Each structure stands twice: as structure tokens, then as C-alpha cells.
Chains A and B, each alone.
Chain A
Amino acid sequence: MTMLRARHLSVGYGSRVVVSDISLDVKAGEVLCLLGPNGAGKTTLFRTLLGLIAPLAGEIDLEGKPLLQYSARDRAARMAYVPQAHAGVFAYTVLDVVLMGRTARLGLFASPTAADELAAREALASIGIEWLAEEDYTRISGGERQLTLIARALAQGTRLLVLDEPTANLDFGNSARVLAHIGALAKRGYAIVLSTHEPDHALSIGTKVVIVHDGRIEATGTPEEIVTSERLSSLYDIKVAVERTESGGKVARPLI
């Protein structure tokens, strides 16, 4: 089932077009990677796909219905957003942060119930961080924060997850851990959209890649087809070699 589809989309602010003529779609079980250098317009495209800003042209459908026809609440019941791990301002517990994912299911004046708390604890357990529940969100590591925000999106109960550079600011080990969780979620049937500026991420967990460059979509396809030495070399303006490893995967290596 197609969860999210964009056709001939132009995104930007006011009269300034940042990226134009974008067409993409993501189905259950797929990991769609938006790949591009910093400043390519990935964030603007993301905010548009999330319904935070209106597209300048074109259409976005969420589960077959135009995105702009959803209320904030109905949209949140179908699409969950995982922002880049941030420190937060106030020292909520990890459990409180995950519980905030249940908001769209609560009435205007309601607070989470015992059932919501159970769902939040299950979400934490499903990515193996249930032991963090009572910790202060401001005092855990960046990798743990990112996993907490993923758990919050799972607690939201949607089948579509949208992740903004989920490994930005994470160290080598935590990046790998977060990517492994995202890959596992796709295998469980989630539809996933993630933005990244790391070609290796697209190569390791992407099933579909959209390359954003110079205000347009440069290529769309499987990682195998389009994440190539030639493409990356022109995209980043340095020589890059995409090489097959002994384990059968592929890595992008800058030739420096």
C-alpha cells in the first residue's frame, strides 16, 4: 500500500522555490532515502511532506487522500515525525517524552491513561531501551535521545515514519545502532522516509533513493542503480569510489 506519494511537487517559502518537480512515493516495508549535500533543500522538502508548510505547486497524498485535507490530529494518527536528536529545554523523563507521542489519541482536555503508558513502555521495549524509562531525557546520550524519539514515533501508532537525518550528531557506534533499528522497523512493515547526507546510509538500509541536488530531483531508483561512483563524484564534487565489500554490501569511499 502506498503510504505517501508526491507528484510534481515544488517546495519553498513564499515566492522562493527551493526544490521543484519532485515526484516520489513510499510503500509499507520500504525505506526511502532522500540523499543530498547540505543545503540542497532536504529540510524544506521534509517540512512540506510533513504538512508543516504548504507546497508551492503539485500534490501530496497521505494514504490516498490529499495531505492538506487532514487536521493536525488525523495527520498525526497516520504519519509520525522523528526530528534530529535535540537536548530539549526541560528535564522530562524518557517515559514522559515517549508518552507525548500519544497526544493525537487524547481528547483536548485529557491526559494519558494507564493504557497509554503501557503503549509507551512497549515502544521503549521494542527498540530495547525500556531501562531508560525513568531517566531524565536531558541527561542521556545523543544516541539514546534519538532512540527515545524513535520510540515516541512508534508510540504514536502510525505505519509511516519520517526521520530527519536520524544519525546527525551521533558517533560511529550509535549511528550504526540507530540505522539497524530503522532497517528492522521496515522489515516489520513500517514505511520509512529518511533524509541523509551519507551515501553509505542509503547503501546499507535504503530500498529506494531520491537524490536532491541544485533545486531538483537528480535521480530516483534503487541504491544499486543510482548510488554510483560517477553520480556521487559529481554530486559532492570530489572523487568518490563505490566499492563492493567482502560481506556483499557496498560502501562509498572518497578518494583523498
Chain B
Amino acid sequence: MQRLAIPLLALALVVASLLSVTIGPYTITPGDVSRALARLFGYGTGAPSPAEIVLLNVRLPRIGAAVLVGAALAAAGSAYQTIFRNPLVSPDILGVSTGAGLGAAFGILLSLPVVLIQGLAFAGGIATVIMVTAIAAAVQTHDRVLVLVLAGVVVGALAGAAISLVKILADPYDQLPAITFWLLGSLAGAKGIDVGAVVPPVVFGVALLWLLRWRVAILSLGDDEARTLGVDVTKLRATIIGAATLATAAVVAISGVIGWIGLLIPHMARMLVGPQFARLLPASALMGATFLVLVDMLARTIGRIETPIGILTAIIGAPVFIWLLQRTRRAWG
């Protein structure tokens, strides 16, 4: 079962993506898909149909974004849960999402173009994590992990207060809804170019986690044990945090804040393939991608307007998480 899990999860992602191509406010048939494919390879005749245009310019970028965002958030979550030795940790623990939220809110307040808002969000996420790690490094302590988490909570709260201030200053008819919508996450505006820009940092971050997969698991033993097993704990932890932050900040910049995926999906992956990071990382990434493809499909179909994804992941995530707590309590107790 464990050996088959990863190929099966990959298959599930392919099926979910194919299903997702055809479902949405604008109906796209398998025929449209094959015609668009034929045109892509130079066999098309005549002008593209509206369905083909929707497929190439709207639907596919959106599905591509869902795959990237879901995979990156779940992969970062699985790394953070392992190195912080705590299954209740999510990629937001060091403030990356709140920092990105502040950057985006500020960009919206200044009425900047979308690409600059995304750039500010990315920079805000990275800067917040750098600040958190710098504060934690300056504190003399025996328990480095605890200080990191506490510094993350403090800086996150500060950034949250700054977001509230920006909201008060924002134009209530135009900017405030935009900020709120951003903070709840959505893939509605994802363009092909956004997806392309996010691929390099996500691939780089997740690939680095994959290369370090054996050592990531060693950090879950705690600092003293990891050191006596021959690991340079300080450098390794900084590298892992850097890789996970890079991937998370990049995807948050195009999707807004999407909660629950980085917390919930690594849990479910651990139930399926066990805690060994070499299996946990790919399983988390595949499940995160599949989950977000399906949730995004819901987001564009269940209401007359786009439903923010953060609302859907919370509605699905909270009860599932409570169920997981009941089931897995002993496995990490």
C-alpha cells in the first residue's frame, strides 16, 4: 500500500485536473480540449472558438496555479511540521502569510498595478521570516525551536495590527473589499504569466527540501540528538526554513492567503505514507495540489460570484482536522 501510495496520488491529481478543465461557469467539452490541443501543435483550422479561448487563457492558468499553490503550501507545511517537531504547525508559523498580506494590502492601498502588489506580497513574506529568524537568533536560549515559534507569533501579531491599520486607511468602497478578498485567497485572477513567474521559486524551494529529505527527518529528533548524529543543526534549519519560505511566499503572492492546506494536508499524507520525510514530502505535495484543484473548482461553481478559497478551505478543514485529531492522537503522542 505504502509503495503504491505515491503513484496513486499522482494519478488522482491527473484525474482531478482533467475533471477541473471541463467544469466551471463556462462549459468546456472534451471536444474543445482536443481542438485546442490540436491547434497548439499546429493542426488547427479556422479561428479558435470562445471555449478554446476560455480554456487557454482562463481555465488552464487557473488549474496550473492551483497545482503549484497547493503543492507548495503542503510541501512547506510538511517540512515545518517535521523540523518544528509539532504536527500543529503550518507554513504560516514564522509569519510568511501575514507578512505577504501586509505587503499586498499596502500595494492595494497605493493603487499599484497587480504585478507590483504581487512583488510587495512576496517581499513582505520573505522580510517577515528574516525578521523572525533574526530576532530568534539574538535571544540566548537553550530551546531554539520555541524561541523561533514565539518570535513568529509576536512578529505575526505586529504585522496583523499593521494590516488592520491599512484597512482603516483604505477606501471602503474599492480598496477595502480588494484587501479583504486578497486576505481570503483566490485563484480567480491567475494568469499564465503569474504561474510562469512562480514556477522557478517553487521548484527551487521544493527541490531543495527533496534533496535534504533524509536530514529534514533527523531534525525531528531535536537539536541535541541531531548534533550528536553529525548534523550541523543551525545551518540545516536555516536552509530548510529558507527553502520553505521561498516557495510559500511565491505562491501566496499570486493566490492570497489560503489557510488550512499547509496544516491539514501533511497530516493526511502522514496517515497514508508514514512520517519518513522522503515519502511525506511528495505525498503532501501531490495531495495539496489535488485538494486545491478540487476546492478551486468548487470556488468558481457553487455561487453566482467567486467564493474566496480561504472560506472554503476553512469550512472543509476545520471538521476534517478535528476528525484527524481524534484518529492520530496516539501516533504522535
By a beta-carbon cutoff of 8 Å, the part of chain A in contact with chain B is 13-14, 47, 50-52, 71-77, 79-81, 83, 87-93, 96, 100-101, 103-104, 106, 108-112, 136, 138-139, 156
Contact = CB atoms under 8 A, between A and B. Distances in A.
Given A100-B221, A108-B215, A79 B333 contact: no
A101 B229 contact: yes
Contact of B230 (A75, A89, A138): A75
A74 B232 CA distance: 11
Contact of B229 (A89, A93, A100, A109): A100
A93 B274 CA distance: 9
A182 to B, nearest CB: 18
Contacts, number: 90
Contacts of A90: 82, 85, 87, 220, 270, 275, 331-332
B34 interface: no
A14 B276 contact: no
B224 interface: yes
A112 B278 CA distance: 11
Contacts of B85: 89-90
B268 to A, nearest CB: 14
Contacts of A71: 232
8 contacts: A83-B225, A89-B220, A90-B85, A90-B275, A92-B276, A100-B218, A104-B230, A108-B212
Given A96-B276, A108-B212, 11 more contacts: A50-B227, A71-B232, A72-B231, A75-B228, A79-B228, A90-B220, A90-B275, A104-B229, A109-B211, A110-B214, A111-B213
Contact of A103 (B142, B214, B270): B214
A100 B217 contact: yes
B111 interface: no
Nearest to A138: B331
Q: Which 8 A-B pairs have the closest CB atoms?
A: A104-B230, A76-B230, A90-B275, A81-B228, A73-B230, A109-B211, A111-B214, A91-B331
A87 B333 contact: yes
B276 A109 contact: no
Contact of B215 (A89, A93, A103): A103
A198 to B, nearest CB: 23
Contacts of B274: 91-93
Interface of B: 82, 85-87, 140, 142, 211-215, 217-218, 220-221, 224-225, 227-233, 270, 274-276, 278, 330-333
Nearest to B225: A83
Nearest to B221: A100
Contacts of B87: 89-90
Given A96-B276, A106-B214, A91 B229 contact: no
B146 to A, nearest CB: 14
A225 B231 CA distance: 40
A197 to B, nearest CB: 20
Contacts of A109: 211-212
A195 to B, nearest CB: 14
A81 B274 CA distance: 26
Contacts of A14: 140
Contacts of A74: 230
Contacts of B333: 87, 138
Given A14-B140, A91-B274, A138-B333, A52 B214 contact: no
A72 B230 contact: yes
Contact of A83 (B86, B217, B224, B231): B224
A134 to B, nearest CB: 11
Contacts of B221: 88, 100
Contacts of B275: 90-92
Contacts of A104: 229-230
A22 B82 CA distance: 38
B228 A89 contact: no
A248 to B, nearest CB: 37
- Scoring B82, B87, B230, B231 by chain A CB atoms within 10 A of each residue's CB, the highest score goes to B230
A108 B230 CA distance: 11
A164 B232 CA distance: 22
A14 B140 CA distance: 10
A159 to B, nearest CB: 15
A73 to B, nearest CB: 4
A93 B322 CA distance: 26
A156 B229 CA distance: 8
A88 B213 CA distance: 19
A77 B230 CA distance: 8
A80 B225 CA distance: 10
Nearest to B84: A89
A138 B229 contact: no
